[in-house]
Structure formats: C-alpha cells, structure tokens
Structure 1
Amino acid sequence: MNDFRLGFAKKFGITDTIRSDDPDAHQKILAKTQNRGVDIAMVSTGSVNAISQAIDLVRKGGTVMMFGVPTKDVKMSLEMSKVYSKEITITPSYAASETDTNEAFRLIEQGTINVKKLITHKFDLVDSAKALDYAHQGNDSMKIIITNSETLN
C-alpha cells in the first residue's frame, strides 16, 4: 500500500496497479481477469490479512506465493473450503538456497539482470542508522545501499 512503490513498478513494464486497500480491488481484479482471478498472488508482507486477501483473489488452480514472514507466533483463521474448492497451491519461501543465490549473482554479474535500476538511495557507512531508519519508513525508497564513501559515486 505504498503509492511510490506502485508507481516505481511501472518503470519495469507493470501496466496497472491496484492498491490492496481499495474497497473495489476484488471487483477490479475480476474485471481484468475475465472473472477468474489472478494466476499467482505474491504476498511480500507478513500481514495475515494480505495472505487471506491473496487466497480470495487467486483463480481456481492458482498459487499463493508467500515471501513476507509473519511475526513469530502469529495465527490466522483460514476458511479451508476455499483452499480445497479452488485447489489453491500455497507456497512459502523463507530463504533462497545457496544454488539460487549463486544463480542470482551470476545473472547480475553477466548483466542479464540490472539491479542498479532498483536502487533509489545510497548512504555512507557512517550514516547506517539513518539508512536503516529510512528503509524502515519505506515512503519513497525501493532498495537502499550502504557503502563506504569511496564507492558512493
């Protein structure tokens, strides 16, 4: 629910965005998917409300990918009949494997993936606390780099 980040996504070819707090979000998604729902819903927050909403918005046979980690001991109520009747796959991802990490580094090193486009702010090592504070707020940032002053430019 960050307008800056939704707008930022459009720089990468995303043609349309819908805020999850939009009261018409479900109807808008159904209208854009011929009344089916989305193929994949990626939950990038630890919010159990977001997980529940993803289950509602995914199509029959769709997948809910969970990347955000809920806080420890959080519980949620889940209407299991939705999961079964829609035959939804729910896939959590806690961390990348060493193989995945090495493949990502290889793609970045080869220039296949340009991560520099994701960096919105750079901070010197002495400003680490400020950088972490800024990242926590997340208002107008995507990825923040903390580096030494010799590599800032």
Structure 2
Amino acid sequence: MKAAVLKAPNEISLEEIDTPKAGSGDVVIRVRAATICGTDIRIYRGRKTTGVRYPSVLGHEFSGEVVETGGHAGLSVGDRVGLCPFIACGHCDLCKTGRENLCTQGSAVGYEIDGAFAELIRIPAQAVAAGNLRHLPDHMSFEEAALVEPLSCVVNGQNKVGVSSADSVAILGAGPIGLMHVHIARHRGAKRIIVSDPNGHRRDAALAAGADATIDPTAEDVALRIRAETGGRGADVVICAIGVPALARQATDLAAFGGRISLFAGFAKGEVAEMDVNAIHYRELTVTGAFGLSRRDFDQCFDMVATGRLNLKSMITHSYPLDAIADALAVAESGAAIKVALRDG
C-alpha cells in the first residue's frame, strides 16, 4: 500500500510499504480522511522528538471504513468509523484516577503505532476492546470525524481551567486549535471571547466561529485592549493556543485577579518562558498545562459533532490526495489554511 513515510526530520516521501493485516482482535481501516495537526508539522520539522520513530507514518486525526473486522461481532466490513487514537494502559494509577490522557504506559496512533497518512491503518486489539472505535452516523462526514480528536484535546484543556458562562476568555492564536477553543468557549456560553492573532484571515475566521472581538498584536497593545474589552478587569481565562514561549509571559499580564491560564499549545523540549511570578502570587493566578485527550473527552466531542450541536465543517479549507503529501504539509505549515485534509477519493 501507499504511505507517507517519515524517514528523518524534514524528510517525508510517498512509498510502497507492507499492507497491514489484522491479528487476533485487530481491525484494519481504509483511511478516508486524515487531517494534519500542528504536532505533525513539529515532528516533521524535528521540533518534537519524544516518542517519534524513524521510519514511521504520522497521522492521528482520521476516520475511515473497516476492511478487516478482527472477528469483532459489532463490526462489519464497510462500517464507517472514527477513532480515539490514544490507547491508555488502563491499569496505572493515572488511568485508575481518571487521568488516562497522562498514562505513561500507553501508546498512540501516529506515534508508537504507524498512523493515518496511509491508505490503510491497523488498529490494535487493545484499542478496539477499550471502546476507542466509534461508528459514524450516515450524516457525519469523514472530515468531521477526523476533527473530533483535536476538539477533544481542546475540551480537556478547557475543563482544566473551568471555562463557563461567567467567564471572559482571551485566546492567543487563531490557528485551528485557537478556533476550536472559540467554538467550545462559545458552546459553553462564555460571556466574552477575545482572540489575538496577527493573521487577518484567521482573525476573520475567529469572528465567524463566535469570537466577540479580535486583536492584531502587531498593531495594538494586547493587554490594554483586553482590559478595555473586560471593563478593566482582564480576562478570567487566558488560553495560549500557539506554542510561543513569550505568550506565557504575556498571559500573566492579561489575566484578571483570580484568573486561570492554560498553556495549552505544545512547546519544543527544553524551551523556557519567563512568567511574572509576582502577579501569579498576589493576583492568585492559576497556571496549568493541558495534554491530549481521554476516551471520555472523545466520546463527548464525538456526540456533539454527530448530533449537530457543534458544526466544524468550515474548518476544512484545503484537501489533497495522499500522493500530494508534500503540498499538503506545506500549505498546513504556511498558515494559509485553517485545516488541511488528506482524502481518499
């Protein structure tokens, strides 16, 4: 079969590799849609190396059709399915206390397990047995199903800072993740959502997604504007949706007394950021990270999208066939797209 094989940083190419076969309990899926994540770009460029193998196949946001059922009674060839790509061990203390997204004994599709930038993908029996596969309703597109994974990570992040209808929310970065934060904050009824991004196209997309106001950080003082938008208080929640360490420092300037800060975006290993510890102490700010997703997050987001409570269709702005992987990655990295999909047919 064809697959986009990552051989080394900055080296990815379409190649013929062995077609996966279902072992006992495994399921094989024909990939119908796989979307490109910012983390895929970071791995491709060598900025993320933890858990990365060479050679390997990336891609953890995807959906497709079952071609081998692995003997599971609830699956048939041709079934349309999506997948929660993180497979927790289910036995460690983190898993037992409801924090399976932090499980250090687990594995993930697109990392330890070859991913979806390929024609076919093998889903391990452990993932199937744990309930990671979900059947798509007829009206749910493959592209929408692929977006459930990053949306689930966003829900995990907003749960950590407790975004609610009482909150003003400042989101730094209006890339795909920042826009999903807008969608979820609006879904939760946040009283005011302000988004900062230097890209005019993405600021427009943030307004379309439900933001109340946007800021061009190259043209105005973000802190002054946030205070103006919040009656002088600052934002109750500040979300760093892009992995720029300097934004962590800025976040403390933007937060209200008692505010919560989410360092949501991935940062390169070894990167450090200066933060105003005096502000954290005297204004009782809460600073938290957010990593990955749990099956509970995935199921919640899958149901929101499947029932139409959240519409993400407009986020897919560019689509390419698998054999145009180089073009797809280039457009995703350029910032010209919101979300780029690799599609079969």
Both proteins in one fold, TM over 0.5: yes
**Counterparts of residues 1-153 of structure 1 (less than 5 Å):** 1-138=198-335, 140-149=336-345
DSSP 3-state at the match of 2:233: coil
Contact 1:65–1:90, Cα closer than 8 Å, also in 2 = yes
Q: Following TM superposition, by how much is the alpha carbon of 1:23 offset from its aligned partner in structure 2, in angstroms?
A: 4.1
Quick check: which has more Rg, 1 or 2? Answer: 2
Q: Deviations over 1:110-149 (max 9, x none)?
A: 22211212111111121122111110111x3111111112
Contact 1:60–1:86, Cα closer than 8 Å, also in 2 = yes
Letter of the 1:26 counterpart: A
Alpha carbons of structure 1 residues 30 and 78: separation in structure 2 relative to 1, 3 Å: same
Letter of the 2:270 counterpart: D
Q: Deviations over 1:46-87 (max 9, x none)?
A: 111111111110100111112111110111222311101111
Contact 2:252–2:275, Cα closer than 8 Å, also in 1 = no
CA distance in 2, matches of 1:78, 1:8: 30
TM-score normalised over the length of structure 2: 0.41
Alpha carbons of structure 1 residues 79 and 10: separation in structure 2 relative to 1, 3 Å: closer
Letter of the 2:264 counterpart: F
CA distance in 2, matches of 1:106, 1:129: 33
CA distance in 1, matches of 2:275, 2:206: 30
Count of aligned pairs between the two proteins = 148
Q: Following TM superposition, by how much is the alpha carbon of 1:20 offset from its aligned partner in structure 2, in angstroms?
A: 2.9
Q: Percent identity?
A: 28
- Tell me which protein shows more strand as a share of its residues: 2
- Structure 2 gaps of 5+ residues are 1-197
TM-score normalised over the length of structure 1: 0.89
CA distance in 2, matches of 1:136, 1:19: 20
Contact 1:118–1:143, Cα closer than 8 Å, also in 2 = yes
Contact 1:122–1:145, Cα closer than 8 Å, also in 2 = yes
DSSP 3-state at the match of 1:17: strand
